[in-house]
Amino acid sequence: MITREGTKKLVRSTIITLIVCIVIGYTYFATRDYILGPQIIISDPINGSTISTSTVLLKGQALRIQDITLNNRPILIDEQGNFSETILLFPGYNISLITAQDKFDRTIEYKLELVYQDKP
């Protein structure tokens, strides 16, 4: 049989559990950018690819960033973090460095290595 005192304990522990869950959820929501950090995703071209033209269109997405540069030159991103830049390749092995920084001054670098080889 459920007593009045048992019902009070059940309601009290349910309310406390709910409050603790809300606090933990809000804490995660407020700190997720700091926890996850900046991220760079390159969709095109694939790292290590051999390219047959002297220019290549670099496409990607940067998440949770404040500033982004390509070879120390700032690039523009849209609201979703997408970017698109044309890169000029020299014959042979090429390295492009994409650097992103978040609002907590954490930096991430992505080294894109491409090989430009003219078709004979």
pLDDT in tens, 2-37: 788 888 888 999 999 999 999 999 988 888 777 788
* Bridge partner residues of 74 (DSSP): 69
Output the tens digit of pLDDT for each of the chain's 120 residues.
678 888 888 899 999 999 999 999 998 888 877 778 899 999 999 999 999 999 999 999 999 999 999 999 999 999 999 999 999 999 999 999 999 998 888 999 999 999 998 876
Instruction: Say if residues 80 and 49 touch (Cβ distance below 8 Å).
Output: no
